[in-house]
């Protein structure tokens, strides 16, 4: 499935961690030593085994799914995937993909053009199916969708209403869904009149019933403990000698409950890889030779980490989704700018990231050719509490003798900042934000929530003031269109009503918000890279001027990998497992 920007817990946690309530993964490996097994850990249980409905990262689909094209994790270039070739018409409106001969699903059934047509026309383009993928495929001012048709069993044709520059990178990465398994779930409706597809392959499903096309398939899942993946015998890749890939028989996810355990389990030999938080880098570096592992540094991490305020002025069931008193603060751009000036990112960087990273200023990853840097003129917010107080005063706020900030009606300025309870680093960051904002008279109540509850607030109830969270990143900015288009499913700071939800009344789209969305539309239709860069530069300037999100720190991407694992080509873009089909275990365990 398309790697659109998703809510994520992995980078917020700062480390890939392991559950203490599960049995020791080192013991698990010993008990099953007859099977070559690669073990690592993740921060959350899988939320779904249905890729179209997934909006979280990490997720199982990086191992069990593939699309028409693949992205090289080192160069970022597109390479053949399920499609062996493609042809693009001179007017850039018609793209025809030719599938590899003999593709099969994990259950052995043929994978054909019918599966792709079904995936697009019956699932992604189906307005009864809530999916962010639809947002990033919309073309032009009218938000039209491509026409998808089967030419024969191996050829799929896409017709675009106008040129769409990100098409290959976005549509090419969408993995198909098996028509022979899921067609009935689209046609049949449940008691609430919704397609049964919405409850198909949820996390309570028997993992072995999930049909997929990637290098691995699901084998077992024990909630709160682990997910086990086994090699897909029908995967298409073979090496130059004709040997079936992938080489590693099983991959095991250990599930997070205590982030501090990950490092200890890696050091004791229970894990094959661990993402390195900055505060553990020196410790692991000293142990690199003795511990028989290698530390990889992949450059600045993709993705963003930020706080955002709830700017939604809508009403639901006769009540405003945001307290009108707070809404008046949050929707004042001077208030948001004052917050940005009031957060000491340099201290965040030095104390929590040990100087391993840089302050973040843009929603577009620094490795993207469309990134607009501060050196090129992007506005930044260096720590300046005096500037914060000046802006707040200009906005009509005043200070009491105690130093507490109050609004024009005498209301003390106080709001709730939520973050993931699974993320120790996230909680440390919001604790410093709380201290920083107290210095400019603002009281912040920090509320850690389980990631599931947090997402429900952002996506469904809209009952929140401010959140610290992050999104995954990538090379193509339009992969984040579902964040920046005003009607996008991940447009969390001013989310529109989603299908099946109680409608919002009175929601307002701000002028700057609409302009960003329009610029994304223009940039998607522009085929000249220099002109695209200029358009995305405008979007980045607008986000920094109006601050719908306030960015924090961009750390370096680092991981420690056991030397028993061969073939690693670590980068910030692909990280450890982008070429998982090539990885080998030298000791066979």
Question: pLDDT tens across 59-102, in order?
Answer: 999 999 999 999 999 999 999 999 999 999 999 999 999 999 99
In whole angstroms, give the CA distance from residue 217 to residue 61: 9
Which residue, among 216, 211, 130, 120, has the nearest Cα to 160 in the 3D structure? 120
Percent of the chain past pLDDT 90, that is, above it, reads 81
- Residue 24 predicted with pLDDT over 90: no
Beta bridge partners of 160: none
Q: What is the fold, at CATH topology level, of the domain defined by 69-182? A: Dipeptide-binding Protein; domain 1 (3.90.76)
Q: How far is the CA of 147 from the CAs of 94, 119, 124, 158, in angstroms?
A: 10, 12, 12, 6
10-43+214-300+557-585 — its CATH code? Answer: 3.40.190.10
pLDDT of residue 21: 31
Beta bridge partners of 227: 221, 253
Structure tokens at 18: 């392991």
The band of 12, judged by pLDDT with boundaries at 50, 70 and 90, is very low
| Three-class SS state of 489 | coil
pLDDT of residue 17: 31
Residue that the structure tokens 């690199």 belong to:
288
Classify residue 500 as left (phi > 0), alpha (psi -120 to 50) or beta: left
The band of 43, judged by pLDDT with boundaries at 50, 70 and 90, is confident
pLDDT tens for 245-289 read 999 999 999 986 666 777 888 999 999 999 888 888 999 999 999
Asked which of 261-270, 336-345, 387-396 is least confident by mean pLDDT, the reply is 261-270
Mean pLDDT, rounded, of the chain:
91
The band of 128, judged by pLDDT with boundaries at 50, 70 and 90, is very high
Count of CA atoms in the C-beta half-sphere (13 A) of 164: 28
Residue that the structure tokens 């992949």 belong to:
298
- Residue 11 predicted with pLDDT over 60: no
pLDDT of residue 57: 76
pTM of the model: 0.83
Largest CA distance in the chain: 78
pLDDT tens for 487-497 read 998 999 999 98
Architecture of domain 321-551 in CATH?
Answer: Roll (3.10)
Other C-beta atoms within 10 Å of 241: how many?
Answer: 5
- Residue 435 predicted with pLDDT over 90: yes
Q: Report domain extents, the chain.
A: 10-43+214-300+557-585, 69-182, 321-551
Interval 537-544 mean pLDDT? 98
- Residue 501 predicted with pLDDT over 70: yes
Interval 449-465 mean pLDDT? 93
pLDDT of residue 195: 95
């Amino acid at each position: 499935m398309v790697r659109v920007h998703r809510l994520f817990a992995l980078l917020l946690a700062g480390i890939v961690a392991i559950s203490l309530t599960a049995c020791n993964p080192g013991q698990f490996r010993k008990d099953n030593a007859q099977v070559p097994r690669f073990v690592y850990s993740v921060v959350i249980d899988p939320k779904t085994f249905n890729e179209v409905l997934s909006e979280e990262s990490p997720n199982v689909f990086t191992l069990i799914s593939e699309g028409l094209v693949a992205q090289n994790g080192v160069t970022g270039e597109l390479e053949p995937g399920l499609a062996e070739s493609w042809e693009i018409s001179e007017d850039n409106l018609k793209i025809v993909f030719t599938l590899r001969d003999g593709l099969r699903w994990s259950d052995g059934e043929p994978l054909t053009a019918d599966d792709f047509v079904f995936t697009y026309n019956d699932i992604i383009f189906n307005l009864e199916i809530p999916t962010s993928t639809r947002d990033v495929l919309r073309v032009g001012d009218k938000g039209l969708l491509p026409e998808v048709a089967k030419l024969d069993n191996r050829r799929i044709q896409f017709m675009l209403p106008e040129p769409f520059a990100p098409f290959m990178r976005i549509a090419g990465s969408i993995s198909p869904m098996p028509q022979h398994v899921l067609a009935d779930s689209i046609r049949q409706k449940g008691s609430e009149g919704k397609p049964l597809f919405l409850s198909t392959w949820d996390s309570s499903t028997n993992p072995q019933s999930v049909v997929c096309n990637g290098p691995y398939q699901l084998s077992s899942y024990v909630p709160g403990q682990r997910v086990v993946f086994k090699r897909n015998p029908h995967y298409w890749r073979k090496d130059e000698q004709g040997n079936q890939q992938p080489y590693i028989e099983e991959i095991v996810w250990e599930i997070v409950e205590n982030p501090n355990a990950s490092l200890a389990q890696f050091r004791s030999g229970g894990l094959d890889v661990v993402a390195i938080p900055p505060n553990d880098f020196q410790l692991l570096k000293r142990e690199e030779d003795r511990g028989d592992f290698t530390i990889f540094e992949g450059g600045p991490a993709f993705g963003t980490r930020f706080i955002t305020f709830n700017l939604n002025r809508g009403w639901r069931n006769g009540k405003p989704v945001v307290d009108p008193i707070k809404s008046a603060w949050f929707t004042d751009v001077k208030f948001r700018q004052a917050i940005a000036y009031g957060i000491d990112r340099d201290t965040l960087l030095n104390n929590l990231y040990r100087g391993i990273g840089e302050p973040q200023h843009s929603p577009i990853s620094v490795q993207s050719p469309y990134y607009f840097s501060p050196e090129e003129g992007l506005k930044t917010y260096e720590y300046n509490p005096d500037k914060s107080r000046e802006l707040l005063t200009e906005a009509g706020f005043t200070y009491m003798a105690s130093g507490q900030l109050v609004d024009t009606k005498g209301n003390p300025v106080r709001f709730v900042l939520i973050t993931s309870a699974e993320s120790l680093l996230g909680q440390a960051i919001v604790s410093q934000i709380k201290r920083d904002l107290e210095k400019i008279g603002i009281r912040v109540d920090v509320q850690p929530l389980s990631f599931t509850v947090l997402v429900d607030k952002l996506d469904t109830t809209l009952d929140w003031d401010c959140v610290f969270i992050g999104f995954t990143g990538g090379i193509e900015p339009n992969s984040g269109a579902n964040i920046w288009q005003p009607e996008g499913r991940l447009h969390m700071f001013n989310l529109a009503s989603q299908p099946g939800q109680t409608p919002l009344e009175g929601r307002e789209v701000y002028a700057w918000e609409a302009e960003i969305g329009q610029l994304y539309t223009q940039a998607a239709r522009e085929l000249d890279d220099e002109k695209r860069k200029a358009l995305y530069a405008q979007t980045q300037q607008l986000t920094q001027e109006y601050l719908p999100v306030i960015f924090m720190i961009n750390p370096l991407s680092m991981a420690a990998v056991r030397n028993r694992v061969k073939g690693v080509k670590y980068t910030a873009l692909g990280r450890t497992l982008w070429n998982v089909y090539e990885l080998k275990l030298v000791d066979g365990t």
